[in-house]
Amino acid sequence: MRDAALLVVGAGPAGMAAAAAAASMGVAVTLLDEQPAAGGQIYRAVEAAAGPRGEILGEDYLYGLRLVRALESPLIAHEKGATVWRVDADGTVAYSQGGKGRLIRGRRVILATGALERPVPAPGWTLPGVMTAGAAQILLKQSAVVPRRAVLAGKGPLLYLVAQQLVKAGHPPLALVEARQTTDHLRALAHLAGALKGWRTLAKGASMLSEIGKAGVERYRGATKIAVEGDKAACAITFDCGGRSRRIACDTVLLHQGVVPNTQITRSLRLEHVWDSAQRCFRPKVDEWGATGLQRIYVAGDGAGIGGARAAEQAGRLTALHAAAELAAISLEDRDRQAAGIRKALRAELAVRPFLDAAFPPAPEILRPADETIVCRCEEVTAGDIRGYAKIGCTGPNQTKAYGRCGMGPCQGRYCGLTVTELLAEANGTSAAEVGYYRIRAPLKPIALGELADLDEVVPDVRPGQEIGRNL
Amino acid sequence: MDIENAIIGGGVVGLSLAYGLLKRGRGVTVFDEGDDAFRASRGNFGLVWVQGKGLGAPDYARWTRRSAEAWHGFAEELRAASGHDLALSQEGGYDFYFDEESLAQRVAQYEALKAELGGDYPFDVLGHNALKREEPGIGSEVAGAILHHADGHVNPLLLLKALASEVRRAGGHVRSNCKIVSVEPSSGEFRLTSEFGSIFGAARVVLTAGLGAAELGPKLGFKAPVRPQRGQVLITEKLPKMMNRPSGIIRQVNEGGVQIGDSKEEVGLDDRETLETTSQIAARAIRVYPALRKANLLRSWGALRIMSPDGLPIYQKSETVPGAYLVTCHSGITLAAAHAMFLPDWLDGGESAPNLEAFSENRFTVS
Amino acid sequence: MKTVSPFLEIAAGRKTVEVEFDGETYALADGANLAAALLAAGVQGFRTTPVSGAPRAPFCMMGACFDCLVEIDGFTVQACMTTVKPGLKVARVHGKEEPADA
């Protein structure tokens, strides 16, 4: 078994910053990166795209370059194309690379797997041509591919950013269908003080909207009943707005309703999770250093709670400091001294968050969709099916797996878990916190059986008392 | 208002029994834990399995066979009532061997049991070539198999769903998220206390609580010597049909995934899947069906069997507390038909009651 | 497949290689992301689901949704996590059970 001092899972801002910080303190780091190049999702392909598409993608994206360049250290082993499929409490990580299964054990492991887009169940959302707004960004960043006739629909700052980037790329979206309601505006005002501290973010938002407006992109505000029409592929988006039903013909529909922490690994470790009512999602319970209930496992970045790329970077540094102290590379005094400045920066980055959370809460219609809407994309289980399970005693998400295979597909609940939690809370008259979430287990991503079997050579023999029997 | 029959434990054993009682017009309330309970009923392999059971214990072999034979009618009844097709298939099943000697040893055991059963134990021994004709995908390392014609498999989750809906439709009450933490005899009846402090009264109590019987049993006069035994299971992505019959360790479920097991681990209340064991299970499966090498593993899990000291079920009427009953087994799927159709008679006593003396707790004498 | 792809490549001049997808040959940029390249080439439905036979295509582009599954060399893989290289042979994954000759 290969041993490492520090393992970092994920090469987004938190992972990159953690790896670089740890290396600067003399800690040997192995960085496990699922992608072929560093950057995670937000800085996807930044090294390759900065030249050709930097103008289109903007300053905030180009900022990622410095984080990628900081990975050039002899102390950082950057494993690319490494898909982690198992993490154990003792720091053992199993990953798949080039079709081969590999094992490595870290004395400390920093999980920096970031966020996923919140599931956006709407009628027709499984049709070809429907993607997340983040997917459109990835296409642009990594592949220089843009949709010709797209409509952006949903809620959240990313919607405007993608619209602006498409405008700059010369192919503005046909329309922006905004699910944001007046009540959202009003609720957000309560957090204006924090927002003003994060005025740069607000200023960026204003400039985005201005550019989108100048390009003539039609905005439909206060939209509800968002649905996608089409037979073999999306051909239009329909919605209600201003008291009228609308229909816009298009080839691509880009949906978005915010991002949520990716909790697959932390759930598989059976770490404690808390329900964040401001962000309406679960996140793992961590202390101010990113430490969890397991001594060797830390979480940094959006995976511990949504804060955005800059906050993730600072959190990565903080967690690396703590790990370095635990690994005796620096003293506790050094750790605390260096942490002070980082905490200040982190606080500044997080100042605008309560405002954003209040300003863009997920729409009720995607939290608790109509009966006919597919909730589990993999097994095609509808909201109505799930409400039906509740009637025959299904009190929690794990029973929805048993009753209807909901959550048993390859995505392992990434795109249905939160919806199932909300639906069961509603059906059983209880809260999301009480309902809980799917039990997540390895493999975190599908792997070929042969790959798992070949690992046999590096694991201990069957112990006495632990026989692999035949049939029962 | 008093409960006529309180069934403690809403897994497949409790629900099958509840279903059977309701069919006889009885009043039934089932108490079930919450979503994160161990639930062997959710983690099992889905076999309706006869071979290998009751070696040296022919009563168990007979009870198992009786249930297997009643399964078809049971599945039909549930399908007609609930609309759920349980995907029952009883075309026989295999026990595979990588070496001739082990195969021969097992055959000898089966022959002995067959004699005890008066010849009613329909199995064939297949060498590699004969097996390959039945299963073209079989690996070259498989020396042979025992094909038992009474074996089969079913979709255990659909069984649970059908029972859950039918029990309710037939007027049974089901209290979910209601873990019973104590049952006490109380002036000829029973007092049940839930984890939230709710109290229920019942005339008759049946413990079908899996591992929970160990805590609840003693106050009702039961030894309930059950212990957890972990089995780990893998399931692949949905695949085109690649095997004709199930075996004890590999079967292709009706939706297409190939399910692979198993292990027998004494690890206490730990239902986690482990790297070592899942890797070994995968390796063995590939030896049996080499095409599985490229199949994607989607999920793996561990589940806790409810094991008695000899592996046989326990059916016990309390000798010290009349009206209390204990039912436990680790083959709740195979025995579901028997539990639905014959066990209610055992509860009532009378002429049609099956003789389940062989499964009494008294066989576990403290020496 | 539409005659005009719903997607457009805005970078020019990348060396292309021949890739087979579902029996048809495409000229895709060497080293490109397979899902992005197929979308730009006009492929709409990538696969059909095993449950209902419904068409699916890339949704998340980040390896999380598993809707872009394709088959390469007998393995089911995500197109959005695969890189184009010369001679790549890509097939559709089996959806709903088809009759033997499909």
pLDDT (tens digit per residue) in B266-297: 999 999 999 999 999 999 999 999 999 999 99
Q: Does residue B6 surpass a pLDDT of 70?
A: yes
Give the pLDDT confidence score for residue C102 in this predicted structure. 36
Cα-Cα-Cα-Cα dihedral of A208, A214, A217, A223, to 10°? 60
**Contact criterion met (CB < 8 Å) for B10 and A393:** yes
Q: CA A296 to CA A201: how far, in whole Å?
A: 35
Strand A218-220, strand A175-178: pairing: parallel
User: pLDDT band at A457, cuts 50/70/90?
Assistant: low
Q: Does residue A472 surpass a pLDDT of 50?
A: no
Contacts of A146 in chain C (CB under 8 A): 7-8, 10
Copy the structure tokens of residue A412: 């392992």
Q: Is the peptide bond before A123 cis (omega within 30 degrees of 0)?
A: no
The predicted-structure confidence for B195-244, as pLDDT tens digits, reads as follows: 999 999 999 999 999 999 999 999 999 999 999 999 999 999 999 999 99
Give the pLDDT confidence score for residue B174 in this predicted structure. 95
**Contact criterion met (CB < 8 Å) for B256 and C97:** yes
Q: How much is the pTM?
A: 0.95
Residue B209 DSSP label: -
Place of tokens 């402090």: B197
Give the pLDDT confidence score for residue A192 in this predicted structure. 84
Contacts (Cβ under 8 Å, ≥6 apart) of B87: B154, B155, B158, B253, B254
CB count within 10 Å of CB B178 equals 21
State percent of chain A over pLDDT 90: 89
User: pLDDT band at A469, cuts 50/70/90?
Assistant: very low
Please give the CATH architecture assigned to the domain spanning A2-116+260-330. 3-Layer(bba) Sandwich (3.50)
Give the pLDDT confidence score for residue A194 in this predicted structure. 82
Give the pLDDT confidence score for residue B366 in this predicted structure. 63
Nearest in space to A219 (alpha carbons), one of A144, A260, A167? A167
Residue A334 region by backbone torsions, left for phi larger than 0, else alpha for psi between -120 and 50, else beta: alpha
Domain membership of residue C26 (yes or no) is: yes
Domain membership of residue C5 (yes or no) is: no
CATH of segment(s) B227-307: 3.30.9.10
Chain B closest-CA separation from residue A443 CA (Å): 6
Cα-Cα-Cα-Cα dihedral of A18, A23, A27, A31, to 10°? 60
Mean pLDDT of the region A149-155:
97
Give the best residue of B238, B254, B294 to mutate against chain C (max C CB count within 10 A).
B238
Q: CA B134 to CA C11: how far, in whole Å?
A: 56
Residue A291 DSSP label: B
Mean pLDDT of chain C: 91
The predicted-structure confidence for A269-326, as pLDDT tens digits, reads as follows: 999 999 999 999 999 999 999 999 999 999 999 999 999 999 999 999 999 999 999 9
Nearest in space to A2 (alpha carbons), one of A111, A98, A102, A147? A102
The predicted-structure confidence for B288-346, as pLDDT tens digits, reads as follows: 999 999 999 999 999 999 999 999 999 999 999 999 999 999 999 999 999 999 999 99
State percent of chain B over pLDDT 70: 99
Q: CA B195 to CA B206: how far, in whole Å?
A: 18
Copy the structure tokens of residue A321: 């400091």
Alpha-carbon distances of A431 from A273, A386, A399, A404, A425, rounded to whole Å: 15, 16, 17, 22, 5
State percent of chain B over pLDDT 90: 93
B151 neighbors B49 (Cβ within 8 angstroms): yes
Chain C closest-CA separation from residue B6 CA (Å): 39
Helix axes A417-427, A397-404, angle to 10 degrees: 100
Mean pLDDT of the region A155-177:
96
Sequence spans of domains, chain A: 2-116+260-330, 119-257, 368-435
> What are chain B's partners, defined as 3 or more CB pairs within 8 angstroms?
A, C
Q: CA A161 to CA A255: how far, in whole Å?
A: 13
Place of tokens 């989607």: B298
Quickly name the fold that domain B3-79+156-225+310-363 has.
Answer: FAD/NAD(P)-binding domain (3.50.50)
In DSSP notation, A4-50 reads EEEEEE--SHHHHHHHHHHHHTT--EEEE-SSSSS-TTTTTTHHHHH
Q: Does residue B152 surpass a pLDDT of 60?
A: yes
**Contact criterion met (CB < 8 Å) for C6 and A149:** yes
Contacts (Cβ under 8 Å, ≥6 apart) of A244: none
Cβ-Cβ contacts under 8 Å between A and B: the total is: 161
User: pLDDT band at B36, cuts 50/70/90?
Assistant: confident
Residue B7 DSSP label: E
Q: Does residue A90 surpass a pLDDT of 60?
A: yes
**Which phi and psi angles does B235 have, rounded to 5°?**
-140, 140
Which residues 30-59 on chain C approach chain B with CB closer than 8 angstroms? Answer: 50-51
In DSSP notation, B287-327 reads HH-GGGGGSEEEEEEEEEEEE-TTS--EEEE-SSSTTEEEE
The predicted-structure confidence for B60-86, as pLDDT tens digits, reads as follows: 999 999 999 999 999 999 999 999 999
User: pLDDT band at B148, cuts 50/70/90?
Assistant: very high
In chain C, the residue whose alpha carbon lies closest to the alpha carbon of A98 is C82
Copy the structure tokens of residue C78: 């995500």
Give the best residue of A449, A454, A463 to mutate against chain B (max B CB count within 10 A).
A449
User: pLDDT band at C100, cuts 50/70/90?
Assistant: very low
Mean pLDDT of chain A: 94
Q: By CB neighbour count within 10 A (0-12 exposed, 13-18 middle, 19+ buried), where does A269 fall? A: buried
**Contact criterion met (CB < 8 Å) for B286 and A462:** no
| Fold match flag (A2-116+260-330 vs A119-257) | yes
User: pLDDT band at C101, cuts 50/70/90?
Assistant: very low
| Fold match flag (B3-79+156-225+310-363 vs B227-307) | no
Domain membership of residue C31 (yes or no) is: yes
User: pLDDT band at A240, cuts 50/70/90?
Assistant: very high
Give the pLDDT confidence score for residue A134 in this predicted structure. 98
For residue C50, the enclosing domain spans: 16-92
**Which phi and psi angles does A134 have, rounded to 5°?**
-60, -35
The secondary structure element, H or E, covering residue A147 is: strand A145-147
Residue C13 region by backbone torsions, left for phi larger than 0, else alpha for psi between -120 and 50, else beta: left
Nearest in space to A141 (alpha carbons), one of A12, A46, A62, A51? A46
Nearest in space to C43 (alpha carbons), one of C82, C75, C70? C70
Please give the distance of CA A374 from its chain centroid, rounded to a whole number.
Answer: 21
Contacts of C30 in chain A (CB under 8 A): none
Q: Does residue A187 surpass a pLDDT of 90?
A: no
Place of tokens 């108490």: B31
Contacts (Cβ under 8 Å, ≥6 apart) of B25: none
The secondary structure element, H or E, covering residue A155 is: strand A150-155
CATH number of domain containing C65? 3.10.20.740
Mean pLDDT of the region A378-407:
94
B311 neighbors B330 (Cβ within 8 angstroms): yes
Q: Does residue A465 surpass a pLDDT of 90?
A: no
Helix axes A417-427, A383-391, angle to 10 degrees: 40
The predicted-structure confidence for B108-125, as pLDDT tens digits, reads as follows: 999 999 999 999 999 999
Q: Does residue A463 surpass a pLDDT of 70?
A: no
Quickly name the fold that domain A119-257 has.
Answer: FAD/NAD(P)-binding domain (3.50.50)
Helix axes A309-326, A13-24, angle to 10 degrees: 40
The predicted-structure confidence for C49-90, as pLDDT tens digits, reads as follows: 999 999 999 999 999 999 999 999 999 999 999 999 999 999
ipTM score of complex: 0.94
CB count within 10 Å of CB A317 equals 25
Cβ-Cβ contacts under 8 Å between B and C: the total is: 15
Give the pLDDT confidence score for residue B39 in this predicted structure. 86
User: pLDDT band at A334, cuts 50/70/90?
Assistant: very high
Give the pLDDT confidence score for residue B351 in this predicted structure. 86
Sequence spans of domains, chain B: 3-79+156-225+310-363, 93-149, 227-307
Q: CA A416 to CA A412: how far, in whole Å?
A: 8
Higher pLDDT, B38 or B102: B102
A395 neighbors B177 (Cβ within 8 angstroms): yes
Q: By CB neighbour count within 10 A (0-12 exposed, 13-18 middle, 19+ buried), where does C4 fall? A: exposed
Q: By CB neighbour count within 10 A (0-12 exposed, 13-18 middle, 19+ buried), where does B360 fall? A: middle
In words, the CATH class of domain A368-435 is mainly alpha
Number of domains in chain C: 1
Strand C69-72, strand B324-328: pairing: unpaired
Higher pLDDT, A461 or A419: A419
First to last CA, chain B: 44
The secondary structure element, H or E, covering residue A146 is: strand A145-147
Q: By CB neighbour count within 10 A (0-12 exposed, 13-18 middle, 19+ buried), where does A21 fall? A: buried
Domain membership of residue C10 (yes or no) is: no
User: pLDDT band at A471, cuts 50/70/90?
Assistant: very low
Give the pLDDT confidence score for residue C99 in this predicted structure. 44
Q: CA A223 to CA A181: how far, in whole Å?
A: 8
Copy the structure tokens of residue A390: 């509740």
CB count within 10 Å of CB C98 equals 11
Which residues 30-89 on chain C approach chain A with CB closer than 8 angstroms? Answer: 32-33, 36-37, 39-40, 44-46, 49, 51-52, 54-67, 69, 75-76, 81, 83
**Contact criterion met (CB < 8 Å) for A448 and B265:** no
Give the pLDDT confidence score for residue A185 in this predicted structure. 83
Q: By CB neighbour count within 10 A (0-12 exposed, 13-18 middle, 19+ buried), where does C102 fall? A: exposed
- What letter represents residue B133's amino acid? R
The predicted-structure confidence for A6-61, as pLDDT tens digits, reads as follows: 999 999 999 999 999 999 999 999 999 999 999 999 999 999 999 999 999 999 99
Contacts (Cβ under 8 Å, ≥6 apart) of A4: A28, A29, A30, A77, A104, A105, A106, A107
User: pLDDT band at A399, cuts 50/70/90?
Assistant: very high
